[in-house]
Structure 1
Amino acid sequence: MKLAYFVLPHLGGTYTVFRQLRRGLAPYDVDLRWLGLRHEAGAFDPALAEEAALGTSLDMASFPDEREMVRRLADILLAEGFDGVVVNVLSDRVQTNIVRYLPPEILRFMVVHTITPGTYAAACAIAPHVHATICVCRRARDDLVERHGFPAGRIHVIPNAVSLDDFQREERAARTEGLRLLFLGRIDDSSKGVLWLPEILARAPDTATLTVVGHGPDLPRLQAVLPASPRITFLGAVGPRAVPALMARHDIFLMPSRYEGSPMALVEAMAGGCVPVASALRGVTDMVVDDGFDGLLFPVGDRKKAADLLCALDGDRSRLSRLSAAARAKVAGSFTVARMAMRYAEVLRRTAANPPPTAPALPIEAWSLPQGLRPGLRTYLPRPVKNWLRLVLERLPV
C-alpha cells in the first residue's frame, strides 16, 4: 500500500509523527510518503535536508487559484499510484478539504491531532468523505462520538509514539543540586501556555534553571519577560536528532499547555527519563502520565501548584529518580513506534479490505471551503478572551 501523508518537512510534532510512522509501517509493506503545499519558496531546514527525497511539494505561488492546485494534487496521487491519503486535520485547509474531491478509489484517512473546537469543526466538515478517523487521544474520540455524532466503529485512538532506539544511547547526567527544567515546543502562548513559565520559574527553587527550546510567534514576548540570566537559556529550534541528548541533560520537562492532542515532546521526554510536570488535560496528558507514578500533573493555569511540585521534587531526589525510571518504562510498554505502527497497520488493512461507504466525490470545478474550514466566530475573539474560555472550560467538572 502506498499512502500520501499531507505534511511538509518541518521541525514540529506532525512531521515527527510522519517520520516515526514511515519507519514503523515499512515492515507492513506500507510506503508512506509526504505530500505538501509550500507557502514560501526555498530550501527546507538544513536539519531536514535529507527528508526532501521522501516526498513531493508544490509551490502554491505557481498556481492561479486553489482549484488548479487541488487538480494538480489529485493528478499526482493518481499518476504516482497512491492508494490513499492521510489528512492531518487543519494543518493545511486546502489539503484538509481535498478529501471531498478525490475519486472513490483513493482511501481517505484523517488524523485529529488536538481538542480544539476549530479542529472538531473541520473534522465534521470532511467526515462524510473519510473512510476512517484516527484520534491521537481519548478526549478527541469521545468528543467526536458523543458531541458530533461520529460513528464509533470508524474512529480509532492511536497515540503518538517514539523509537526507543533513539534514546537508549543517551545516558542521563546525574546531579544533586539545582533542578534542570526544560521547555521544548512551539513558543505559542495560546496553546502551550508559555507566558506562564516566568511565574512558575519565579516560584521554583532559586537553584533551578530553565532551558527553552523552540520557535514560535510568542518568542519575543517570552524573551521580554524572561530576561537573560544564568538561570535561563534560549536555544531556538533544534533538529530531531538533538532531542534525546537534550532530554538526558535535564531533570524535568515542564509543559504548562492550555490544550494538546498527543504531545510528542511529552513522550520524548519520558523516553529520555526527563520527568514531566505538565498540565492535567482530561483524556490527553492523563492518558500518557500516571500522576504521581511516572510524572506529575497540575490543574491548567495553576502556576503555584506547578511550582510547588517542582519544589517538592527538588527536596526529594530519590522520588525524582523513581519517576524518571517509571517514565522510561511507561514509554517502553505503551508508546513505542512498533506499537503505534501495528495499530495503524490494522486500521489500514481493515479499511482497505472493506471500505465503508462515503459521500460521492465533488467535482473540482465546484471547489469551495465548507463552513467548518472557514474562520468562525471564535477566530475573531481577542486572544485573552479565548484563553480565559479555554481555562474555564478545562477546569469544569466532567
Structure 2
Amino acid sequence: MAMKIALTLPSLPLSGVGTSVGIIEAGLAAAGHDVDVVVTDHGVSRDLEYAKRLGWNLVFPGRGVRFLPHRLKRVLEWLNANGYSAVINNTSMETQLILPCLRPEILRVGVLRGLNPEARRHLSINSGYLHAAVAISAEMVRVMAEDANIRAPVRLIPNCTRVEGGEFPKLDEPLTICFVGRLSNRDKNVSILPRVAAALKASGVRFTLEIVGDGAERKALEKDFREVAPGCATINGTLPRERTQDIMSRSHFVMLPSISEGLSNVLLEGMALGCIPICSAIENFKWVLGDAAERLQCSTHDPGEYARRMIRMSSDPDLYRSTQQYLRERQQSLFTPERTVGGYLELIGELKNGAARELPPSCAFTSLRMPAEYRLYCSPVWRLLQKTRDALTGRDRDA
C-alpha cells in the first residue's frame, strides 16, 4: 500500500546528502509512494532550481523563520498535519529536535551520513524516538553500535551513485589527477594536496591537478601551492555537476585524503567512471574498495605515499586497467540506486507491518526539552540579537 513519506533535510546543496536524498526520493516515488522533500532551514538554497527540475515535491515550512523555536514549531505543524506515514530524516537538526512531538503513528527513521563526533551527536539527540537508525557503511554500523547515546536499532543501507561510466580514461601522459570536495582540513585533509603535487614533481612525473570545490581553506591552499608546488594545480571552485563529472571522467586518478567520511559519493563516482581513487586508510574506504584497497590506500598524512601509489599504478598499464574494471564491477554490484532504495523500501515495509518498536509517549511542543547546545538559540537574548541585526541590515523577516 502506498504511503506518504517526508524526506527531511536541512538545505538543498545537491552534493553529498542532497544527492543521496535525490536517489531515495526517485526510488520511493517509482515504487508508488507519495514523497515530499521537506527542507527545514530558514534559507533558500542555491540548488533550488535544479531540485525543481528533478521534479521533487519541495516544501519549506521553516523558510524565512530564523528564530529556532518558531521554526521548530512550523516544521512540527507541517509534519503532523499533512498525513505523513513516515519521516526519514537526513541530517535535519529541526526534525531531530522535534521527534518527541511527532504524532505517535508516524514511523521515523534517522540516517547517519558522517562519522565525525558532531554527526554522531546530532543523530543521538532524541534517538530514543526513532524506530530505526540507518548506517550508510559497515564501519558506521560498528561505531553506532558502540555509541551508547544512539538509542535506536541500526540498519545498514549503503550509499550509492547513479553515475554510469562510459569508456575508461586511457593511460597516457600527462597524468590527470583531480580532487572533488569541500576545501576543509578538519575532515577532507586538503592541506596535503600541495605536498602530494610537490612529491610528484620531484619524481619527474608530468601531471595536471584539477581541484573542484570551495571552502574555508581555499586561500590557505592557494598560498601553499604557490610556495610548495607553483603552477601544479588549477583550483576551479564549485562547478556545475556536469562539468565536475566531465573532469572526473577524463582523470586517471581522484585523490581522497580524508580523515573522516561517511561513504563518499566521490569515491563511488570515481569507481563508476574508471577514475581510480587514491585515498587515505580509513575503514570506510577499505570496505568500499574491497580487494583493491591494499594497493590504493595510503597513510593518511604521508604525501609521498599518495605520489608513490599513483606512480606505481600508472607505470603498469595492465594493473591500471584491471583495477579500473574491478572497481567498476564492484560499484555496479554493491553500490547502486536499486540496492539503496530497496533497503529503504524493505525497512519501511517491515516497520509498517509490525516490526516497529514501541517508543516513549509523545509530548506537547510546549513541554519539549531542548539539548544544552541549542538553548542559547531559543533564548530571548538571541531573539533580541536577531531582531537588532535585522533592523540594522534592513531585513524584514518573519523570524
Same topology, TM > 0.5: yes
Structure 2 matches for 1:59-208, cutoff 5 A?
A: 59-62=62-65, 65-88=67-90, 91-148=91-148, 154-163=153-162, 166-168=163-165, 170-204=166-200, 205=203, 206-208=205-207
Deviations 1:124-150 (A, max 9, x none): 222110001101112221122134275
1:149, 1:200 → 2: CA distance? Answer: 39
Deviates more, 1:96-105 or 1:234-243: 234-243
1:363 aligns with 2:364: yes
Structure 1 spans left out of the alignment, 5+ residues: 376-398
Match of 1:21 in 2: 24
Normalised to the residue count of structure 1, the TM-score between the two structures is 0.84
Indicate the SS of the match to 1:190: coil
Q: Which moved more, 1:121-130 or 1:195-204?
A: 121-130
Cα deviations by residue, 1:276-300 (Å, 9 ceiling, x for unpaired): 1111112x11110125369611122
Structure 2 residue runs of 5 or longer lacking an equivalent are 377-399
Alignment root-mean-square deviation, CA: 2.5
Output the CA distance in 1 between the equivalents of 2:114 and 2:86.
Answer: 22
Question: 1:62 deviation in Å?
Answer: 3.3
Deviations along 1:330-364, one digit per CA (max 9) or x if unpaired, are 11111110011111110111011122111222321
Mapped partners of 1:211, 1:333: distance in 2? 29
- Counterparts in 2 of 1:295-314, with a 5 A limit? 296-314=296-314
**Equivalent position to 2:8, from 6, 14, 17:** 6
Decide whether aligned partners of structure 1 residues 142 and 203 sit closer, same or farther in structure 2, where only a CA change above 3 A counts: same
Aligned equivalent of 1:265: 266
Q: SS where residue 125 of structure 2 aligns?
A: helix
d(CA) in 1 for partners of 2:294, 2:336:
16
Does the residue aligned with 1:226 lie in a helix, a strand or coil? helix
Q: Give the structure 1 partner of residue 336 of structure 2.
A: 336
- Structure 2 CA distance, aligned partners of 1:290 and 1:44? 34
Q: What secondary structure is seen at the aligned counterpart in 2 of 1:142?
A: helix
In the superposition, relative to structure 1, how do residues 295 and 373 fare at CA in structure 2: closer, same or farther (>3 Å)? farther
The residue aligned with 2:35 is 32
Task: Please report how far the alpha carbon of residue 314 of structure 1 lies from its aligned counterpart in structure 2 after TM superposition.
Answer: 2.7
Q: How far has the Cα of 1:374 moved from its partner?
A: 7.7
- Write the distance in 2 (CA, Å) between the matches of 1:192 and 1:293: 19
2:34 and 2:125 map into 1 onto residues whose CA distance is 28
Q: Which one-letter code corresponds to 1:157 in the other structure?
A: L
Partner Cα separation in structure 2 for residue 55 and residue 244 of structure 1: 26
Q: Secondary structure at the match of 1:77?
A: helix
Q: Is the 8 A contact 2:161 2:336 kept in 1?
A: yes
> Alpha-carbon deviation of 1:115?
1.4
1:32/1:373 Cα in 2 relative to 1: closer, same or farther (>3 Å)? farther
**Gap change, CA 1:21 and 1:243, over 3 Å in 2:** farther
Alignment of 1:235-314 (within 5 A): 235-282=236-283, 284-292=284-292, 296-314=296-314
Q: Is the 8 A contact 1:122 1:372 kept in 2?
A: no
**Aligned residue pairs, count:** 367
CA distance in 2, matches of 1:216, 1:52: 29
Q: Take 1:369 and 1:2, find their aligned partners in 2: how far apart are those partners?
A: 28
Aligned match of 2:225: 226
Deviation at 1:253, TM superposition (A): 1.2
Q: Tell me how far 1:323 sits from its aligned partner.
A: 1.0
C-alpha change, 1:295 and 1:77, in structure 2 (3 Å) is farther
- Can you list the C-alpha shifts for 1:151-206, whole angstroms capped at 9, x where unaligned? 78x2111111012xx424x4334241122111111111101011111111111253
Larger Rg: 2
Corresponding letter in the other structure for 1:253: V
CA distance in 2, matches of 1:211, 1:43: 23
Say which is worse superposed, 338-347 or 141-150, in terms of deviation.
141-150
| 1:361 aligned partner, one-letter code | S
Which sits farther off after the overlay, 99-108 or 22-31?
22-31
How far apart in 2 are the matches of 1:11 and 1:223?
A: 26
In the superposition, relative to structure 1, how do residues 67 and 51 fare at CA in structure 2: closer, same or farther (>3 Å)?
Answer: farther
CA distance in 2, matches of 1:328, 1:295: 16
Q: Secondary structure at the residue paired with 1:148?
A: coil
**Counterpart code for 1:84:** A
2:306 partner amino acid = A
In the alignment, is the contact (CA less than 8 A) between 1:270 and 1:324 conserved in 2? yes
The letter for the 2-side match of 1:3 is I
Please name the residue that 1:351 is paired with.
Answer: 351
Distance in 1 of aligned mates of 2:181 and 2:46: 22
Pair 1:50 & 2:17 matched: no
Bigger Cα displacement from structure 2, 230-239 vs 3-12: 230-239
How far has the Cα of 1:262 moved from its partner?
0.7
Q: Distance in 2 between matches of 1:369 and 1:75?
A: 18
Deviations 1:58-83 (A, max 9, x none): 455436x3233222212222333221
Which of 11-20 and 74-83 deviates more?
Answer: 74-83
Deviations along 1:239-284, one digit per CA (max 9) or x if unpaired, are: 33444423211011100001011111111111111111111112x1
- Among all aligned residue pairs of Structure 1 and Structure 2, give the percentage whose two residues are the same amino acid: 23
